Amino acid sequence: GIQVEQSPPDLILQEGANSTLRCNFSDSVNNLQWFHQNPWGQLINLFYIPSGTKQNGRLSATTVATERYSLLYISSSQTTDSGVYFCAAYNTDKLIFGTGTRLQVFP
Amino acid sequence: ETGVTQTPRHLVMGMTNKKSLKCEQHLGHNAMYWYKQSAKKPLELMFVYSLEERVENNSVPSRFSPECPNSSHLFLHLHTLQPEDSALYLCASSQERRGEQYFGPGTRLTVT
């Protein structure tokens, strides 16, 4: 089945810094989602982005399906951005999750 | 209530107990999912229901028994669990199968 890999596994930032999280997938995908898991375990939808670029406030995402990767950009990071960021890709019928990037933002 | 809700949020149960997890979606979606998230492991899909029919059973032990009485409700019945079943159990829904999924807050289960 499809493999979804995320990098880096851990990221520590000071408030105000920018960051780029990467998601690589091993096969063609039907769609791709980015989630933020907060410290209480809730998975919050960030982007549904099978291809192209989307922006939502300080966050934006780009998926290049032909090259099998997606990027999540976080600008001017805040302490509330801390948590784990997951990408997940659909291959046939299943949404396959990566192992996540754990982000810690310090004031 | 909006989105996807789950109850209870926390559950501690002994290995001989029987309990049920409940999920309700208020989004008018047609597909619902159960996932398991263990420490330091990726989310694992357990079950998929589409239009109230089970369409996926991902080699889950029979001590986990799902039920989908209608398109808005999903249950996970638990019996004779093992300590390694302790995890965060997440419910999700989507408009159609393979669509964008929305998750509930999860039930954190501890088996003693």
Question: Quick check: A5 and A24 in contact, CB under 8 A?
Answer: yes
Q: In B, which residues are within 8 Å of A99 by CB distance?
A: 42
Question: Quick check: B102 and B5 in contact, CB under 8 A?
Answer: no
Beta-carbon separation of B56 and A93 below 8 A: yes
* pLDDT tens-digit series, residues B32-76: 999 999 987 889 999 999 887 887 777 899 999 999 999 999 999
Query: Going edge to edge, which strands form the sheet with A52-56?
Result: A4-7, A19-25, A69-74, A59-64, A52-56
Task: Please say if the pLDDT value at position B1 is more than 70.
Answer: no
The two three-digit tokens of residue A53, written as one number: 């670029």
Beta-carbon separation of B42 and A97 below 8 A: yes
Query: What does the pLDDT profile of chain A (107 residues) look like in tens digits?
Result: 789 999 999 999 999 999 999 999 998 887 899 999 998 899 999 999 999 999 999 999 999 999 999 999 999 999 999 999 999 998 777 889 999 999 999 99
Beta-carbon separation of B100 and A94 below 8 A: no
Spatial distance between the Cα atoms of B78 and A26, rounded to a whole number of angstroms:
35
The two three-digit tokens of residue B99, written as one number: 């669509």
* pLDDT score of B73: 97
Phi, psi of A66 (to 5 degrees): -65, -25
Spatial distance between the Cα atoms of B47 and A103, rounded to a whole number of angstroms:
30
Select from A104, A81, A38, A100 the least CA-distant residue to B103: A38
Spatial distance between the Cα atoms of B21 and B81, rounded to a whole number of angstroms:
13
* Separation in Å, CA of B43 to nearest CA in chain A: 6
Say whether the peptide bond before residue A39 is cis (omega within 30 degrees of 0).
no
Burial class (CB in 10 A: 0-12, 13-18, 19+), B2: exposed
CB atoms closer than 10 angstroms to residue A66: 8
